[in-house]
Amino acid sequence: MKRRFSLLSLVLLLAISIVAAGCSKKATETPSDAPKASDAAVVTAAPAAATDAPAVTEAPKSEESVEIQLMYPGTPQKDVALVEAEANKYLKDKINVTLKLNAVDWGQWDNKLNLMIASGEKSDIIFTAAWQRYAINVAKGAFLDLGPLIDKNAPEIRTELDPAFLEGSKINGKNYGIPTNKELAATRGVLYRKDLVEKYNLDVASVKTWADLEPLLKVIKDKEPGITPFFTTSTGNGVFDSLDWDALGDGAIPGVISKTGTSTKILNQLETPEYLAVMKMTRAWFKAGLINRDAATSTVTVQDQAKAGKVFMWAEGLKPGKAAESEGYVGFKLGQIDLTSPTITTGDASGAMLAISKSSKNPDKAMQVIGLLHSDKFLNNLINYGIENVHYVKKSENIIDVAPGIDPKAHPYNPGAQWELGNQFLNYLMSNENPQKWDLFKEFNAKGVKSPGLGFSFDADPVKSEIAAVANIGKQFEAAIRTGSVEPEAKIAEFLKKTKAAGVDKIIAEKQKQFDAFLAAK
């Protein structure tokens, strides 16, 4: 019996030795892709679980990258995926973000944005502006209050931007959009093709008013049948820019004052003789064949039509160097004619902004991206101009040109959206632009005449139902009237009658009430 026990003990001892040897060998082997001992974290062993499996302690996982979508109106670019990849390599290390650039054609922008807001579709950074229903969308609750997000994630914005930008774009004391750092003042006028002016020896120096443009346009109509003398679209203002009005924040909401006058009485623009006179002139141009026949329904951008060589002149908000800046996109030498004096309004302060959607899952990260577009020169220029030595080449530290082999008219990455995205003072300059452009911007801002309404933004919430009703009526009338496609007297009268029934007088009374309170507080 004793001998049998000894034999069993020997077998058990041998088995234990074999298992121990195997465990020893396994512990000393290190897979080729495992971290070195010097890189490993020191981990305190936890008590073994009540199972047959050994306890395993995993190293903490790194935080996953967050995707931030940036949506803005513009022409989708062929090489956007290349630029996104380059941006994401940079942003992954910087703030652990990947960026998705969503350019939406101008003709589809309003519908796309409205549907997105109505459906609550997930989105992050969205372009907005006073002339793009900013106050209306704020009243809908579409955008977040950015004050706390700025302080937490991008405090440099408060020192980098002229205070007039942030003050001028507030609604009820809150910022729902971060303005582009660009020219603060604005003038209105036209851009034109220089080659056609030179070809027919047109006297642009004699043009002082919008009416003075007509003889130039008639020459192009007679001499260049394949080119539209004055191009406008259903979403553009055209000659309407000649009206020197301040819409007090959101141009889509009725009620205006003169930017350069002293009166603070808010007017319904449809009831003014100035509005009728401008629409009569536009109608005369349309009937004379100076404006494209499809103007009331066209959603093609004027810049894309100009790039195709089909446009001579168009209305534009102007600033120093606007013509040279636009040349890089359209591919023609351009000139500009300023037809108003520089003014500064709330609409100008909020003329191009980036908002954060209430549906964003990562508003802190979205604000960090906006902060970088305002402060990071590399990222700003990457998003605006593409990749160095692929889409552009440097001529000096801040001067660039189109990369060799690229046709400017078929450029694979040229969004032309510098004025929409961040801080223009960080932008490179194209070789055709004035090297002193940013100094000229500062001088231009200093000359701006401040509107009596500067700093006032209308809170649309008390009359948002009336605003929605009037806006729907506007879709039936505005494009046709503003492009000269219909006789203005009858259509304006019909338009006015319907808006009054929908509550336009209530809107203007509420705007006057808020404006009076603003002026009294001032």
CATH no., domain 187-341+456-521: 3.40.190.10
Distance, CA of 462 to CA of 11 (rounded, Å): 91
What is the secondary structure of 162-193 as a DSSP string? -HHHHHHTEETTEESSEE-BS-SSBEEEEEEE
CATH 3.40.190.10 segments of the chain: 66-182+348-442, 187-341+456-521
pTM of the model: 0.73
Distance, CA of 155 to CA of 159 (rounded, Å): 8
Residues shown for the chain: 522
- Please report, in tens digits, the pLDDT of each residue of the chain (522 residues total): 333 333 334 333 333 343 334 433 333 333 333 333 333 332 223 323 333 333 333 333 357 889 999 999 999 999 999 999 999 999 999 999 999 999 999 888 988 999 999 999 999 999 999 888 898 899 899 999 999 999 999 999 998 898 888 888 888 889 999 999 998 888 899 999 999 999 999 999 999 999 999 999 999 999 999 999 999 988 775 776 668 889 887 778 999 999 888 899 999 999 999 999 999 999 999 999 999 999 999 888 888 899 999 999 999 988 889 999 899 888 899 999 999 889 888 888 888 999 999 999 999 999 999 999 999 999 999 999 999 999 999 999 999 999 999 988 889 999 999 999 999 999 999 998 989 998 898 889 888 888 998 888 888 889 999 999 999 999 999 999 999 999 999 999 999 999 999 999 999 999 999 999 999 987
Distance, CA of 522 to CA of 518 (rounded, Å): 6
Fold for the domain defined by 66-182+348-442: D-Maltodextrin-Binding Protein; domain 2 (3.40.190)
The pair of three-digit structure tokens given for residue 249, joined into one six-digit string:
């924040």
Query: Which position has the token pair 């806006």?
Result: 471
The pair of three-digit structure tokens given for residue 332, joined into one six-digit string:
């023609």
Contact criterion met (CB below 8 Å) for 283 and 167: no
DSSP run (H or E) holding 511: helix 504-521
